[in-house]
Each structure stands twice: as C-alpha cells, then as structure tokens.
Structure 1
Amino acid sequence: MNNHLLLPTIVTLVVASWNPIALALNPREVDAVAWQVSVLISPNLTQQGDAFLIEGEKTGSGVIVAQEGNSYYVLTALHVVWKRGGFHAIAMPDGQVYYVDASENSPDIIPLGYPSGELGQTIAGLDLALLRVQSDRTYTLATMAANPLQSGTPVFVSGWPNPDDLRQKIRDRQLVEGAIAEVTPPSDDGGYRLLYSNPTRSGMSGGGIFNANGELIGIHGRGRGVQNNCSTPEVNANNSCGMYIGEFLADDRVQSLRLSWNRNPLDLGMIQYGLTYTSQTDRVNGSPVARSTPPPVIPPAITPETPQASPSPAPVADFPTPSPEAIAEAHTIYYVDPNQGNNAATAGLTPENPFRSISYALQGARPGTVIYLAPGLYSARETFPLKLNPGVILIGNESQQGEGVIIRGGGIASTRSAGRQNYTLFAGNNSHILGITLTNPHSDGTGIWIEDTTTALIRNNTLRDNPREGILIGGTATPILEKNRFVNNGGNGISVIQQGGGEIRSNDFTSNGMGVAIAGMANPLIADNHIRSNRNGIVVTASATPTIQGNILENNQNYGILTLGLAQPTLAENNLFRTNGVSNQLTAKIQEWESESPRGTVTSTVFGCLEYEGGLATFAYQGRGSIPLPFLNWTDSPSESGLNRCRLVTSSLNKIITLNGQDLSTMALSTGRIHNNNGVCLVEESGEICQDSNLLFYLGGEEQRNPGEGLAPLLHFSWATAGNPVQQVETGAFAPLKDFAQRLEPEPGLWFTD
C-alpha cells in the first residue's frame, strides 16, 4: 500500500478563528530571512562541472531544511527534478554550487511521490523531493512553522522566475507577497492544499512559502491557472498553490530519515544578518559561479558553452579593478597565468602573453604595479614566501572571494615581529591583496604576514587550511582587512600581536581554532564580522585594548569573547551573541590564580573561581596558551553558599595538585568515605583512595546515600562530549579527568603568548 495516499487521514491542520493582526515582520525582513535558506536548482545537466545556467533550459527553486554532518537536505518540488540522468546543480545562498547525482535510484534524490495516470500526467503522493548536498560549509536551515493556517494569513514566496526568453541566462530571485485564499484537504494530484494570491511565475516551483514570522509553511508548486488542478477552476484562476509543510514532515519516508528540523523561533540576529549581508545568488547570470569541484574554475570572461582550444587569461576589463586613485598612479600592469604563461622578459604586459608565475612578476614590480592573476594553482613554480613590495596591487577573483585563484605554499624568512617564520605572502606598505584563495600547508604555516608600519588592504580573499593563522598583524601595522573568509585555519583566522592595529571589518570566520586572537598591546577595531562555529570566537590577552563592535558571535564551541590577563577590550552593546558553548563573554584574571598555589611550587594546572552566564564555577587553566574551562559548577546549598564552596574547593584543588606534583590527566574525581561521611576527593586514577590529604569537600543530605548522584550535577555540561564522565564503582563514583585535561592543552593559535 502506498503510505502517501493515507496522508489526508493522518495529517490535519488546526482550525481556529483568525483575527487580522500586524505583521510580525515587514516584507524586507522576511526577505532577509528567506535568502539565507533559498537555493536555485538547475536540473538535468549532462555532467558534473557543466555551466550552471544553460541557454534554453528552465531552472527551479528550493529551500535548505535539514543537516546531518556534512550533508544538507534541500526540499523542492518533485517536478523540478523529475527527469533523471546527469546531474542537478544547486546554487547555495553564498554562491557555491554543488552537483547532485540525478541517475535512476540516486541516493541523493528522495522523491515523496511518483507519476500516476495513464500518461503520468498526475502525481501520486506529494509533489516534493529532498536533495542531499555534500558541503563542509555552514548554511542556515529554514525554521519549520507550527502555527495554524487560515484564509487571509499573509504569506511570501521566494524563488527565481524563468525569463520569457530562455536564451537569456539571468535569474533574479524574487519575494512575492500575498495571502492564503484556501486551505483544502490534500489533492489527489501532488498533495496540494494551500492556495494563495501571490503572483508566482515559472521557475519559482520548489521555492519556500513563508509566513509573516519568516517561518516555512510550505513549498510552492503551481502558478495561477484554471488547469492547475488544486481547487475549483474559479479559485485556481486567481491563486497559486503549494504543499503544506505538515504533510512533508509526516511522510513515512521523511520520518525514516530521522532528520532534525529547525523549530527554534527566529531571533533578531538572523534578521539583522540578512539585512546586513545580501545573498550572492540573488542574481545569477550566464557565467558559471563558484562550484564544489576542485579548481581551476572557468573564469567569468570565458563562455562555458564554447569550447576553448587554447584558453588565455581574461581581458583586463573583465577582472576586478583597483580604485581610480590606484590606477592613476599605476606604472605597470602585469598579467600572470600559471597554465599558459611564459616567464620571459618579453611577456607579462598583455593578457595574450602573460607571465607564468607571481614570483617572476614581482621581480619588476614597483609601487603602483597592478598584477592580474588568471584562475589556476600558483604553487610549484613559485618561490616562497612571496613578498609584495610597497604599493603593489595583486588582483584575482574578487567578486567570488578568490574562488579558483589559489596560492598554495610557504617559505621561511626573518620577521621583525617574531624572528624566523614560515609564511606564504608578505604584504608591504600600501599593497593590496584582492580576490585570492591562500593556503600554507606547513605545520606552523601562516598565510599573509603584515608588520611594521604597513598599511595594506586585504579584501575579498579566502584564507583557509592554514595550520597556524590565516593572517598575522604585528609590529605597528595598521592594515584594513575586509570581506574576507577565514575557514578551517588550525590556530586563528587572524592574529594581532605587539602594537598591531588597523580595521578588521565585515569578515566571515568559520571552523577556525579562534576567529581572532589579540595579544601584546594591540588595539585593532573589530567591527561587523560574523564569527561562528570556531573553538573560540575572539580571545583578547596580555595588555591588548581592541574595540569590538557590531559583530555576530555564534555557535562557537567555548566562548564568544574571552578576555585574559590584563587585557581591556572596549565592547560595544551592538555585538550579538548566541549559542556559544561555555559562555558568550568571560573575563578570567588568570594571573591572580597562581597566587592561590603554595609558594615555590610549579604546576601545569591552576584553578580559579569565576561567575559566568549567571552561574558560578571552579575553572581550570593549564598555563601559556591554554583556554580556561569550567571544571565544577556550584550552587547554594542549605548549609553553605555556592561562592564559599567554590572558593574553598578551588583552594584545595590548587594545594593538592601542586604539593603532590601531579598531572591532571592522570587523576580523577572520586567519592569515598572519610570519618564515616561520603566526600569527593582528587585522586590518582591508578588506584589512590579518598583520604584527608586529597579531600575536596563532603557530600550532604541525600548525596550521602547516593554519591554518584551528588557528583554528576557538579560536572560542567560540556564534559558530555566525551560521554558520561561518572562511572559507578564498588567504593562509589569515579570521574577520570584525562579527557578534560586534553581540552586544557595549549591552543596552537596562542603560540605568541608569554
């Protein structure tokens, strides 16, 4: 039996009286939410890597609804991806394109209906399909609506209409307004049940239907027309129609996937982000955009449908250009192509006869020299580190943040900021680096090094997979770093040391050790950046005094902003914090903790008592380069205040671990009986018993009868990443500290701390 045919009996819409009220969001705010979850779908490409938009072909729309590891699930109308064979291309909100296998029985296409009728002219089940897209990037998921639907409810449809003339290879996303006209039982043809007045067009099929709260209530499938087979001809003539999200969520095949859905209420941060930053795919033209396959990509100047027997760099006019002031001062313009160039004195001055390497072009680069880079990998023929002399301008693919223009490599050179270091590119005073993807594979590699009095412009680049940091600012340098992407850098996205300053604006930091690390007496401006999903967002240490304003800091594993030592950042009220793992903001005066340890002792771990996020905890710290983390949580008890317990136990921890010269990684928290009372002790994991010399505190009340239940609530919630830390043994409860100690090990991004 087909379970889809049972949907009318197992899913119902709540019917309630509806009173017109003011919109929760205005249309511009709904659009700010919609673009972050909307995708463009170009179906039936011949092979992976085909040009995204092909003359004469229709496209469709979709919505990002779920994530499982590196798999994202895009919901669209089944008829958008009906035909099989080849690939479907998905343009995500950041402009990145991914290719989905469209062969028969593809595991990446999950249809929720199938052709029916003698000619397959109708759809049994739902006119919906899920597409599975593999990506290591971070994308927002649509919020599933839970509110009842009624006639008159305002709704919005987001999608990319096809042009009347399909020879035109341009798509502009639109958000069209309207209101629900009818909510009907699911139709026999596709499960349609929402009819709305929005004036949709071909190409918007599969696009999201959003309510006035920016929540996803359905998927658009058919435009206005007497024959759209959604309701009566009279209603069909004036209304578009779509499928309700409730039917999708209740579908047997969807439930078998066991995916998690975003049911969290929208917050102002997402709206603010959407208003501040616009989608890179709101306009898609005939040129290929960023793709998920390895570089090189086809440059915008080459028409992808026309085979190129002997490709050459794009003409100057098709590359991003520096400011008019820079052009006016330019002495020379060079062109470099790693695939077709020639390192000769007669080359480099025209696109048709470029140099082969950046290193060769830099030999003759004076202030005002502009060097254009064709797409390709700049690595084997380069001499690293590359050094940009003062006033030299390096330009790649600025419109797509360096997509396809890749510099990979590193070399050792002396620096005035930190001695001999391995870096890829040195930015001289007043130099420009625009539109490059840059990676240093060396184990201690840095991408771009900036120091002394350098005022450089670093804009629209991607710094990724650098083991230490993407960019280092040292000395008294004051560069401008704006609209760059920092992804998967092992230490930091950006390090600012000594008296470094400048402006770090409108950058995106994702999956780095730390987004920005600031030390010494540095005083940069950190403004309007999106710092997300790093181990730590911003770490300020030593005597640094940065100004931090207008940033979004979210989903970082430990802290949004962590302040250590004598640092005194200026934090504006317009920074937005959300869902950072340990604390949004924490100040830890770690230099005072060592005074709690007995004089003359040396220890790798010290403890301090801190208030954070409305709570109180004993924090642990492991010295230079370590990030302090909460160790034991405290609350008031009937007999003693949490603050008093925190101070006493913290002092005991410092004494026990230093006097015995023990390593926290070999120790455990254990419960045991001392003087006929159950207590909690810090013991050697190898078998030490609970006794007076290692006692931290006594358990009270009910905890005496069940020590394990008394210990578990004290352990910080983030320990759960290593499983349940409390083990039951014959003598009581036992919590090994090896995993916690490993989390305290020095961060590679704080290599420059004293």
Structure 2
Amino acid sequence: MTMNFNDPLLAGIVTLAVATWNPIALALTQGEVDAVAWQVSVLISPNLTQQGDAFLIEGEKTGSGVIVAQEGNSYYVLTALHVVWKRGGFHAIAMPDGQVYYVDASENSPDIIPLGDPSGELGQTIAGLDLALLRVQSDRPYPLARTAPNPLQAGTPVFVSGWPNPDDLRQKIRDRQLVSGAIAEVTPPSDDGGYRLLYSNPTRSGMSGGGIFNANGELIGIHGRGRGVQNNCSTPEVNANNSCGMYIGEFLADSRVQSLRLSLNQNPVDPGMIQYGLTYTSQTDRVNGSPVARSTPPPVLPPTITPETPQTSPSPPPVAEFPTPSPEAIASAQTIYYVDPNQGTNAATAGLTPENPFRSISYALQGARPGTVIYLAPGLYSARETFPLKLNPGVILIGNESQQGEGVMIRGGGITSTRTAGRQNYTLFAGNNSQILGVTLTNPHSNGTAIWIEDTTTVLIRNNTLMDNPREGILIGGSATPILEKNRFINNGGNGISIIQQGAGEIRNNDFTNNGIGVAIAGMANPLIADNHIRSNRNGIVVTASATPTIQGNILENNQNYGILTLGLAASSLGENNLFRNNGISSQLTARVQDWGVDIPSRTVTSTVFGCVEYEGGLATFAYTGQGSIPLPFLNWNHTASDSGLNRCRLVTSSLNKIVALTGQELANMALSTGRVHNNNAVCLVEQSGGICQDSNLLFYLGGEEQRNPGEGLSSLLPFRGAPAGNPVQQVETGAFIPLKDFAQRLKPESGLWFTD
C-alpha cells in the first residue's frame, strides 16, 4: 500500500476516529492490521484487584477485549461474557497505553452490561449473546475500533488479537498475539451464545473476548471459543479445526446496545492511525506481572499525530506526582497538605503546595484538624515517621488510589495502649470520620497490625493494599462500624481483617489472597461481608464466639482448609449467592467445639479433644486443641463398611477422648495402629514408641472386608491422607501404623486467632 504523506487531508488526524475521511477500500498487510489492533485491544484480569504492571497473579487466567465506544470519560470495552461473568471483586482492565483501571464486578454492577444470560454453576451455557460491555472511566484519549457489519463469506481473511494464557499458569507473563486465518463457515446464531463465525485461526485460552478483524482492520466480531469437537458452534467435523466467535452485526442490532445510544466508530480505518501503530508499540503487548513504581505517568496515546511530526515522550514533571484533588475534596477541605518523603521539608513554611511539601506524615499530622486532606507523593514513608501514626478525627489521607497504593508505602509500627486489647503494635490508627485512600501499609514487627480501628464510626478505608503484616492487615474492635472497600489483603500471616467485640461495618469488594485467615470474626461482632474474593488462604472466613455476621455474594475458592468455618455459639447469616469452589476440607463447616470432651474422665487434663461432626453429607470425628485452634477431620465415617457411621462416630470419639486423657500423652507422640485384640483385627490409639494394640487403647474392631486387609480398612477412614508427607500408613510387623506427629502439627493454634478466649 502506498500513502501520500503530503496529502493535506492527513494534517491533524485524530487517533480517536473522527469523520474526516471518505470510505476507502484498504487491503492491509498483517503488520498494518496489527498496528490498528494493538491500539484498541485490552487485557482483562477477572476478579483481580492488583494494579499497574503487577495486576497478574500466579495461577490466574486472563481474557481480552476491544474498545468500541466512548461517552465523555466513559469508554466501553466489548468482550466475551464468559470472561467476566463471575461476580464479586473487580475486573482489572489494562488499556493500550499500559494504564490499568477497575470495573466493579459486584452483583448488579452498572459497569457491566451483559448481552446474554449464563446458566449452570460455571456459566456453561449462555442464552443470547456471549458478549458483555464493560464501562471504564478514564480522562485519557483512546482510539475506538471501527465496527463493520460487512457481508461475510467463507475464505475471507481474518485476524484475532488477544493475550493467550501460558500452559503453566504459574508464569505471569502474557504476550499479545495477532493470529491469522480465514473464515471457514458462517452459520445462523447458535442457541448457546449466539456464535456464528467459524475461522481457521489457531487461538488459545486467554484470547476469548479479543477482536476479530478483517483485512481492512475493521472489527467484524469477538472471539469466544477455540478449536474443539465440542465447542458447540457447528458440526463436530467443522469444530475440530476451527475457532468460533460472535458476529459484530448481532452486537449492533441488540436492543440493549441500541438503548445505550453509544457513539460507535463507523468511519473507515484512519491511515494516520495505521502509521502511528507502525511507529509506536503497545505498552501492554507484553505484561510481565513485575511491580513497577512509576514516578511519572506512562506515555498517553497522543490525540493528534502525523507521520511528519512524531510525538516525543513527555519530560518528567518538576515536582512529585501528587494525586489531583477533586473539586469535591477541595470544596470540603479546611486545609490541604502535601507530603513527599524524598523532596519535602518539615518546616512551618512548607506543606501547603506540591512544590514545597512536608517530608513526613508525622509532621503533617501535628497540624491536621477535621477537614484536613493530606496528599502523599510516591515513596517510602518509614525512617522519618514516628509510629504509630494517628489520624485525627475527620482527617483524609490520600495516596495512589487509582492503583491501590502502588508506590506509596507506609512501613513501620509502634507500641501503644488500646481500649480494645491493651498494648498493641500497629502502624496507623484511624480516628472517627477519617479516611485512608490509596496507600500500601506493612508493619514488619512480629505481632504487627497495619490499621487499628476501635469505637469509631464512618471510617472509610478504600483502594489500599495491606500486605506482609505478621498478624493482620486491619483490626476492627470496640463498637467500630467502618466501611472497607476495594482493598487488597495479601500475605498477612494472621488475618486479612480481624473483627472483635461489637465490631461491625461493611466489608465490600475486597480481595483476600494468601493470608492465614481472610476474615476472622469473634466476640459479638456483626459485620456485613459482601462481594469479596477470598481465595488461596489457609482459611477463608472463620466465625467464633457469639459473632453474627451477614455473609453474601462472596467468592470463596482454593482455601487450604475451609471456605467458612463457624465455631462456638457463632451464627452466620449466609446468603444463597456465595460461590464456593475447591476449598480443601470443606466449603462450610459448623463445629460446636464447646460441647466436645464431655466424656473425659474427671481430674484429667488433655490438650486435644475430639467431637463427632456432620461432614460431607455424613459424619466424621474431628480433633481440636482449644484456644486458637482450627478443628480438623481425624476419621471420616461416611464410607464405613460395617456398623452405622453414627454409632462408630459416637463410640470412637468417646474412646479417643478417654484414651488421650488417661495416658496423658500429647497427640504428637501417639499413633493409630492395627492389631489383634481377642483374635479380631482392631484399630487402636497407641503410644508411638513401643505401643501395641490392646483392650486399654482399643478404638473399634474392623469388620467384613476390613478384617482381611486391616491396612486398607484403616486407610479408607483417613481424611488427612493428602498431607505433605504423602500416604501416612506404614506397614510394620504387627500391622498398619500411622504416626500422628504431622497431624498434630496442623492442629497448632492459628496466629490470627490470638484474640479468642
């Protein structure tokens, strides 16, 4: 293709498509199509709340999308509905310039407009179109894809743009690809998702929602399914060799789309846009998941450019990058302070302008009265701070809210007295009506908490990251009723959030990953826990004492032990819209541990008690070591070969309590063993060193097939066979033998339950 760069019509071309051109029949190379595609393609990370270049989390699948419309500061991204159908948390959207924005993914979110209706627990089938619009707020200029409901026929060249997931999801790198092919078949819209385009392009998982472009660089559809006999798009023979997607014409004709009256790009592809795409490259073509603290914003796609005048990168600003005060903040603020840990000065003459900021938060807080807004520049707030920091009533602390505190790190802690729990070590105290927005907080001390809230109302904690705190990210105590929303809780050794005494408030749309316990609730606390993503913790939610939380609309998945564990007299109000997936022991378990051990002989003491609990539709014997312990299944009676599960559960549980109490042994020094008692094979609880099966330690006799193979009979009752040590059953001369040291280690108190009685 030859372009006349001296053509006066090329002057002042706008990358946001404008009606400057007459229709031109272009026949682009694959490189030129790619130059158009990258400027309108986005990467979508469902239910993730990390930002910048660190919004990919190990083990997560991502999706793709296309920018198709703009209304003011609202951009509309078109993607496949199955990419964003899960609700709770947020969807992170990486735009072509590398900026990442959030889309609220809570139930009935106005920022997600589905064009179909998924059914089945995993959204397996979709009535209507497998399409959705995401509304993204940004004041930056972005190009729009040229939507073209052109006639389609087999053999037409097409290109699909998107980010394939790696085969090993531990890898966090994503590389955008543009894959070529041709239309193989055009069918009537399918009943499942409205699919009608089949094409030979070799797509992969992660490219769902990506754009299908024709040889003119026009968007003709959205990719949804890869090759496969069962992709339900056409006949098995056609499906086996072709991917499939939705035609853009169905999107344009949809009544919900028409009711939005969106300004779509109906103009021909702009040659200036093609030239710009060839000259520059996308900042999101490779997403590597590595945290990058930016001191200046990344370059923006320029609103105008011609080939003769390529735009140079902007110079760094002369002062630190502070958040832009909103008109509302300015109107309501009594005082505005600025703090920069790298360039500021702690002096009475400083702090009132970005050019002359304070150097520490501690200094700014000395003069902070209700209505004071303190803006934080990127940097580490640590050595020059006096901890714990105390946010006086009505003070607002603002860092990098759009990226959940990326680059604005408060690190440290100090000991002080609290009304809730005596002397404690925390980083920051949130006073009544205060706000903490867009900072990252870490307390490195062994019993450290990041934010302490007690006996306050209307505290707002939003868009922060609480990470690497040895105990908890946030503690809510007394009668506090804060609002915690859109925060990330990562790698906290105890809990993401602890709620004790009469603590309440609202915990909404937060992400809890790799904590000891996502949310721990005790005392008579009664918070609302709604629309959070709680995954890959040791335990998701633990409710103890007399707490009565309301738990609704959350995703609880991949937690090592429990999705929700309820202990003591606690009673959770569970909505039907919580989603449980792949929690290790149980998604929901209730255990009245206060009733366990009633059969222990008087004047004996034991560190471990056992109880008979409803488990997986049947019964199991659970073990528990008291204060701060998480009860774990010890023997599972659901598949017992003889006697009723109820009889065995009750009798064996009682025997366990008596044997442990009378021997005075720690469970870690004992073992389960098979042996012969009265000429029948039996299971006993013996001392690990030299113990043998006999009347005094007999738990139960094996029956039926178990008599012929006692080792397998015992093994089938073990719910902890998947422990790190592998199959715990050992074969010894006297029978099967299972040391309980590893199991007892798992019963040690959780550090996050330090406040339990």
Tell me, yes or no, if the aligned pair for 1:63 and 1:206 is still in contact at 8 Å.
Answer: no
Cα displacement (A) at 1:591? 0.7
Q: Structure 1 residue 739 and structure 2 residue 742: aligned?
A: yes
Looking at structure 2, the residues matched to 639 and 301 of structure 1 have their Cα atoms a distance apart, in angstroms, of 69
Q: Structure 1 residue 527 and structure 2 residue 530: aligned?
A: yes
Tell me, yes or no, if the aligned pair for 1:449 and 1:473 is still in contact at 8 Å.
Answer: yes
1:561 aligned residue (559, 564, 580): 564
> For residues 577 and 239 of structure 1, do their structure 2 counterparts lie closer, same or farther at Cα, with a shift above 3 Å needed?
closer
Cα displacement (A) at 1:60? 5.5
Q: Which residue of 2 aligns with 1:256?
A: none
> For residues 69 and 399 of structure 1, do their structure 2 counterparts lie closer, same or farther at Cα, with a shift above 3 Å needed?
closer
Tell me, yes or no, if the aligned pair for 1:503 and 1:525 is still in contact at 8 Å.
Answer: yes
Looking at structure 2, the residues matched to 674 and 173 of structure 1 have their Cα atoms a distance apart, in angstroms, of 79
1:296 aligned residue (293, 299, 314): 293
Cα displacement (A) at 1:692? 1.1
Cα displacement (A) at 1:395? 0.6
SS at the partner of 2:744? helix
1:353 aligned residue (349, 353, 356): 356
Cα displacement (A) at 1:542? 0.9
The gaps in structure 1 that reach 5 residues or longer are: 1-43, 45-53, 78-91, 101-142, 148-152, 161-167, 199-204, 229-235, 250-285
* Amino acid paired to 2:622: F
Looking at structure 1, the residues matched to 180 and 565 of structure 2 have their Cα atoms a distance apart, in angstroms, of 52
Looking at structure 1, the residues matched to 64 and 482 of structure 2 have their Cα atoms a distance apart, in angstroms, of 44
* Amino acid paired to 2:213: G
1:170 aligned residue (136, 142, 165): 142
> For residues 71 and 525 of structure 1, do their structure 2 counterparts lie closer, same or farther at Cα, with a shift above 3 Å needed?
closer
Taking structure 1 as the reference length, what is the TM-score of the superposition?
0.67
> For residues 438 and 219 of structure 1, do their structure 2 counterparts lie closer, same or farther at Cα, with a shift above 3 Å needed?
closer
1:64-83 pair list within 5 angstroms: 70=58
Cα displacement (A) at 1:173? 8.9
1:94 aligned residue (92, 95, 106): 92
Looking at structure 2, the residues matched to 96 and 604 of structure 1 have their Cα atoms a distance apart, in angstroms, of 52
Cα displacement (A) at 1:462? 1.1
> For residues 494 and 177 of structure 1, do their structure 2 counterparts lie closer, same or farther at Cα, with a shift above 3 Å needed?
farther
Looking at structure 2, the residues matched to 246 and 194 of structure 1 have their Cα atoms a distance apart, in angstroms, of 14
Q: Which residue of 1 aligns with 2:319?
A: 312
* Amino acid paired to 1:170: Y
1:509 aligned residue (512, 518, 522): 512
Q: Structure 1 residue 456 and structure 2 residue 459: aligned?
A: yes
Tell me, yes or no, if the aligned pair for 1:334 and 1:370 is still in contact at 8 Å.
Answer: yes
Taking structure 2 as the reference length, what is the TM-score of the superposition?
0.67
Looking at structure 2, the residues matched to 242 and 608 of structure 1 have their Cα atoms a distance apart, in angstroms, of 50
* Amino acid paired to 1:94: A
1:438 aligned residue (429, 438, 441): 441
Q: Deviations over 1:562-597 (max 9, x none)?
A: 111111222233323232221222111101103132
Q: Structure 1 residue 245 and structure 2 residue 200: aligned?
A: no
Q: Structure 1 residue 552 and structure 2 residue 550: aligned?
A: no
SS at the partner of 2:696? helix
Cα displacement (A) at 1:182? 5.5
Looking at structure 1, the residues matched to 467 and 313 of structure 2 have their Cα atoms a distance apart, in angstroms, of 32
> For residues 748 and 59 of structure 1, do their structure 2 counterparts lie closer, same or farther at Cα, with a shift above 3 Å needed?
same
Looking at structure 2, the residues matched to 93 and 648 of structure 1 have their Cα atoms a distance apart, in angstroms, of 51
* Amino acid paired to 1:704: Q
Cα displacement (A) at 1:406? 1.3
Q: Which moved more, 1:618-627 or 1:663-672?
A: 663-672
> For residues 342 and 630 of structure 1, do their structure 2 counterparts lie closer, same or farther at Cα, with a shift above 3 Å needed?
same
Q: Structure 1 residue 727 and structure 2 residue 755: aligned?
A: no
Q: Deviations over 1:430-486 (max 9, x none)?
A: 100011111111111101000123431111111111111010011111111111111
Cα displacement (A) at 1:601? 1.8
Q: Structure 1 residue 468 and structure 2 residue 471: aligned?
A: yes
Q: Which moved more, 1:575-584 or 1:483-492?
A: 575-584
> For residues 221 and 537 of structure 1, do their structure 2 counterparts lie closer, same or farther at Cα, with a shift above 3 Å needed?
closer
Q: Which residue of 2 aligns with 1:233?
A: none
Larger relative CO (CA 8 A, sep 6+): 1 or 2? 2
Q: Structure 1 residue 477 and structure 2 residue 480: aligned?
A: yes
> For residues 194 and 561 of structure 1, do their structure 2 counterparts lie closer, same or farther at Cα, with a shift above 3 Å needed?
farther
Looking at structure 2, the residues matched to 726 and 301 of structure 1 have their Cα atoms a distance apart, in angstroms, of 58
SS at the partner of 2:676? strand
Tell me, yes or no, if the aligned pair for 1:145 and 1:216 is still in contact at 8 Å.
Answer: no
2:213 aligned residue (219, 223, 232): 223
Cα displacement (A) at 1:607? 0.3
Q: Deviations over 1:362-392 (max 9, x none)?
A: 1110111000111122112111111100110
* Amino acid paired to 2:227: I
* Amino acid paired to 2:320: P
2:422 aligned residue (385, 404, 419): 419
Cα displacement (A) at 1:154? 9.1
> For residues 396 and 612 of structure 1, do their structure 2 counterparts lie closer, same or farther at Cα, with a shift above 3 Å needed?
same
SS at the partner of 1:620? strand
> For residues 723 and 384 of structure 1, do their structure 2 counterparts lie closer, same or farther at Cα, with a shift above 3 Å needed?
same
Looking at structure 1, the residues matched to 141 and 661 of structure 2 have their Cα atoms a distance apart, in angstroms, of 70
Tell me, yes or no, if the aligned pair for 1:727 and 1:734 is still in contact at 8 Å.
Answer: yes
SS at the partner of 2:436? strand
Tell me, yes or no, if the aligned pair for 2:337 and 2:364 is still in contact at 8 Å.
Answer: yes
1:126-165 pair list within 5 angstroms: none
1:593 aligned residue (579, 593, 596): 596
Cα displacement (A) at 1:62? 6.8
> For residues 407 and 241 of structure 1, do their structure 2 counterparts lie closer, same or farther at Cα, with a shift above 3 Å needed?
closer
> For residues 626 and 144 of structure 1, do their structure 2 counterparts lie closer, same or farther at Cα, with a shift above 3 Å needed?
closer
Q: Deviations over 1:625-656 (max 9, x none)?
A: 00001110103656521100000000011111
Q: Which moved more, 1:603-612 or 1:522-531?
A: 522-531
Tell me, yes or no, if the aligned pair for 1:681 and 1:696 is still in contact at 8 Å.
Answer: yes
Tell me, yes or no, if the aligned pair for 1:401 and 1:461 is still in contact at 8 Å.
Answer: yes
* Amino acid paired to 1:378: Y
Tell me, yes or no, if the aligned pair for 1:60 and 1:206 is still in contact at 8 Å.
Answer: no
Cα displacement (A) at 1:145? 12
* Amino acid paired to 2:214: R
> For residues 544 and 181 of structure 1, do their structure 2 counterparts lie closer, same or farther at Cα, with a shift above 3 Å needed?
farther
Alpha-carbon RMSD: 4.6
Tell me, yes or no, if the aligned pair for 2:425 and 2:449 is still in contact at 8 Å.
Answer: yes
> For residues 742 and 357 of structure 1, do their structure 2 counterparts lie closer, same or farther at Cα, with a shift above 3 Å needed?
same
Tell me, yes or no, if the aligned pair for 2:463 and 2:486 is still in contact at 8 Å.
Answer: yes
> For residues 617 and 638 of structure 1, do their structure 2 counterparts lie closer, same or farther at Cα, with a shift above 3 Å needed?
closer
Looking at structure 1, the residues matched to 694 and 57 of structure 2 have their Cα atoms a distance apart, in angstroms, of 46
1:657 aligned residue (656, 660, 665): 660
Q: Which residue of 2 aligns with 1:677?
A: 680
Looking at structure 2, the residues matched to 310 and 217 of structure 1 have their Cα atoms a distance apart, in angstroms, of 37
Q: Deviations over 1:681-740 (max 9, x none)?
A: 111222211111111111111111111110111000563443111122222111121111
SS at the partner of 2:458? coil
Q: Deviations over 1:34-63 (max 9, x none)?
A: xxxxxxxxxx9xxxxxxxxx9998576678
Looking at structure 1, the residues matched to 500 and 574 of structure 2 have their Cα atoms a distance apart, in angstroms, of 19
> For residues 717 and 194 of structure 1, do their structure 2 counterparts lie closer, same or farther at Cα, with a shift above 3 Å needed?
farther
Looking at structure 1, the residues matched to 201 and 625 of structure 2 have their Cα atoms a distance apart, in angstroms, of 51
Cα displacement (A) at 1:223? 2.7
Tell me, yes or no, if the aligned pair for 1:219 and 1:242 is still in contact at 8 Å.
Answer: yes
Looking at structure 1, the residues matched to 669 and 578 of structure 2 have their Cα atoms a distance apart, in angstroms, of 40
> For residues 481 and 217 of structure 1, do their structure 2 counterparts lie closer, same or farther at Cα, with a shift above 3 Å needed?
closer
Q: Structure 1 residue 376 and structure 2 residue 383: aligned?
A: no
> For residues 479 and 185 of structure 1, do their structure 2 counterparts lie closer, same or farther at Cα, with a shift above 3 Å needed?
closer
Q: Which residue of 2 aligns with 1:614?
A: 617
SS at the partner of 1:714? coil
SS at the partner of 1:223? strand
SS at the partner of 1:596? coil
The gaps in structure 2 that reach 5 residues or longer are: 1-30, 47-55, 66-89, 99-120, 135-139, 160-178, 190-198, 232-280, 302-311
* Amino acid paired to 2:550: T
Tell me, yes or no, if the aligned pair for 1:376 and 1:404 is still in contact at 8 Å.
Answer: yes
Aligned-pair identity in percent equals 66
